[in-house]
Amino acid sequence: MLKRILKHADKQSPHYKWIALSNTTLGILMASLNATSLIIALPVIFRGIKINPLSASSFSYLLWILMGYMLVTAVLVVSLGRLGDMFGRVKMYNLGFVIFSIGALLAGLSWSHGSLGALELIIFRMVQAIGGALLMANSAAILTDAFPHNQRGMALGINQIAALAGSFFGILVGGFLAQFSWRWVFLFNVPVGIIGIIWSYLALKEIDVFHPAKIDWIGNLTFAAGLAMLLIGITYGIKPYGGSDMGWNNPLVISLIAGGLIVLALFVLLERKVSQPMFNLNMFRIRAFTAGNIAGLLAAMGRGGLQFMLIMWLQGIWLPLHGYAFADTPLWAGIYMLPTTLGFLIAGPLSGYLSDKYGARPFATGGMVIAAGSFALMMLLPVNFPYYLFALILLLNGLSFGMFSSPNTAGIMNSVPARFRGVASGMRATFMNVGMPLSIGIFFTLMIIGLTSSVPGSIYHGLTANGVHVQLAAHLSHLPAISYLFAAFLGYNPLKTLLGSNVLNSLKPAAAAKLTSKEYFPKLIGAPFKHGLTVVLIFAIVTCLIAAYASWLRGGKYINDDDTQSVKSKDGVATTA
């Protein structure tokens, strides 16, 4: 098998493009799968490093373990894509496999417990994120180099569906591996990474010529600093501050967001003055490139945060109501989310293939309209829904995002000159990766606003009805709503921890058993959660419809004629690169 692969590894071979496709698909699948595998495994990880995830002091660790990978990836992909243009896309991609595997090994062998153990995991996850950013930034550019323009939609479709499917398979894999040990959530990446390292170093070749240039240190630093400040500020905006359920009035959050926007504005001004900028801002004059990236950002915002909400719905409410123990809900939440992945796998390659013939606009636009419809259907479901209806809606949602992603990626990559494919791939990945933490910040904020109006009354009446003292019930009912939200997310019934053994022992045995049962807490928060979810789904619908409009604005089928200065799309709109 190895001899056969090496025989076709010559870049002039007609088989080389398939080698590039299979290898980059493995890389992007591994990077995206790792980004979400921790979502389900967090309860097991926190137990493994001996941290109580429901304590106030653990909230920052929870945020950083969850979000650190996404933040680092979003900040670095453009810079690393530019390095691929300058020093070789395959070289940077191969380095990504190495760094990613080292980070996975260190995280899996993390040796400490408590706060130090959490800090180690955060750091090692960030090492993984550097490797993941190298893989994401250069994979689409490698494929664009390897495939002719009339096959790029299909190839990029398969690659991008691997990324989207990986984000959902990660949920399943994380839940499955967490049944054995939290360490396997990280260590399973190591053998896959080693295979990828050997395969990529032996089989992948540089096709496009290098474009040596000076590293734009000022541009790289200002972009990284500005984006990091903005995303960290948004992340901490959902953390309670003072007497508020959220931290949007926290001076640190305000300073980070305002400072990040100022530094990003400074980045734009500086890039116009630099002779060899990190990113050629003139590329935004290409309508297909700009519209595709805006649509990609909005699609990621509509999809990303909602994924967390659906996991909370399953793991914290629906599964316990159907008799599943909290310890088993991570695995089953992953299994019950599989219809979305199936939809991706069906629609992605097919829409990519068709976009090679007809252009990206009809499929990407139609995908976002259908996605909005799937979210509208989800609003109609009761809290304790029949699963077959939920599965059909998930399948429709997966089909819609698969229908959008492949053509949109191909449309973006076809629109840029060959010498800018690396940085264009990085910018595309940046828009997508920025959309995820933005979405999480917005969705959690909207959900908390919805919960705050109804959770206190539900908790108060539920506790007092079972004999809990009025004063204690009033205190617990006014805890930050996000505490209960994350309890649902982590698959916990927090009432046993919050009430404590002394209070529970003072109650009637039947009341104590009811309060600590796996069904009671989900019933208590079910109606408030659905109220908050409705607000979130309305936002997702609006976001997808705006993404559909942005996608339509890209124009007709458009292929950049490599390094020519002016090209036209089918609808006759002139653009300049």
329-336 and 152-177 helices, crossing angle to 10°: 160
Query: What angle in degrees, to the nearest 10, is found between the helix axes of 16-48 and 59-87?
Result: 160
| pLDDT reported for residue 212 | 63
Specify the long-range contacts of residues 388-397, CB closer than 8 Å, at least 24 apart: 390/336, 391/336, 391/339, 392/339, 394/310, 394/337, 394/339, 394/340, 394/343, 395/339, 395/340, 395/342, 395/343, 396/343, 396/370, 397/340, 397/343, 397/371
- Please say whether the beta carbons of 48 and 183 come within 8 A: yes
CA–CA distance, 43 with 521 (Å, rounded to integer):
17
- As a whole number of angstroms, the longest Cα–Cα distance in the chain is 80
Rg (CA), the chain: 24
Phi, psi of 574 (to 5 degrees): -75, 140
| Selection from 429, 515, 428 nearest residue 468 by Cα | 515
* Closest by Cα among 416, 514, 435, 529 to 467: 514
Using CA atoms, how far residue 312 sits from 158, 333, 496, 533, in Å, is: 29, 9, 19, 10
Q: Which residues lie below 8 Å from residue 352, measured CB to CB, with a gap of 6+?
A: 153, 154, 155, 156, 157, 158, 160, 161, 406, 407, 410
pLDDT at position 38? 74
**Tokens describing residue 251:** 């001076």
Question: From CA 574, how far away is CA 551, in angstroms rounded?
Answer: 18
241 strand-pairing partners: 244
Rounded to two decimals, the pTM is 0.79
Domain ranges of the chain: 2-213+276-452+529-567, 215-275, 455-528
Tokens matching residue 274: 């630099």
Quote the CA–CA distance of 310 and 440 in Å, as a whole number.
Answer: 12
CATH code: domain 2-213+276-452+529-567 is 1.20.1250.20
Report the alpha-carbon distance of residue 200 to residue 399 in Å, rounded: 31
Residue 517's closest CA among 488, 484, 493? 493
CA 221 vs. chain centroid, Å, equals 24
Helix (H, G, I), strand (E, B) or coil at 575: strand
Of the candidates 208, 307, 318, 219, the one whose C-alpha atom is nearest the C-alpha of residue 266 is 219
- Token representation of residue 137: 């930034």
Measured between its terminal Cα atoms, the distance across the chain in Å is 43
What would the two tokens of residue 226 be?
């500005």
Location of structure tokens 């801002």: 281
Q: Phi and psi of 391, rounded to 5°? A: -65, -40
- The angle that helices 361-379 and 520-552 make with each other, rounded to 10 degrees, is 160
Kind plus residue range of the DSSP H or E element containing 384: none
Backbone angles phi, psi at 245, to 5 degrees: -70, -20
On whether the CB atoms of residues 234 and 257 are closer than 8 A, the answer is yes
The predicted pLDDT at position 379 comes to 92
Return per-residue pLDDT of the chain as tens, 577 residues. 545 544 445 555 667 888 888 888 888 787 777 766 776 677 778 778 887 766 666 777 777 877 788 778 877 877 787 777 777 888 888 898 899 999 999 988 888 888 888 889 889 988 998 998 888 878 877 887 888 867 776 777 677 777 766 766 777 777 777 777 888 888 888 888 888 888 888 888 877 655 566 777 787 788 888 888 888 888 788 777 777 777 888 899 899 999 999 998 998 888 888 777 767 777 888 888 999 999 999 998 888 777 778 888 888 889 888 888 776 777 788 788 889 888 888 887 788 778 878 888 899 999 999 999 999 999 999 999 999 999 999 999 999 998 998 888 888 878 887 777 767 777 777 788 788 778 878 888 888 877 777 778 888 888 888 888 888 888 888 877 777 777 766 666 777 777 888 888 888 888 888 888 878 888 888 888 888 888 889 999 999 999 999 999 887 766 665 544 433 444 434 344 3
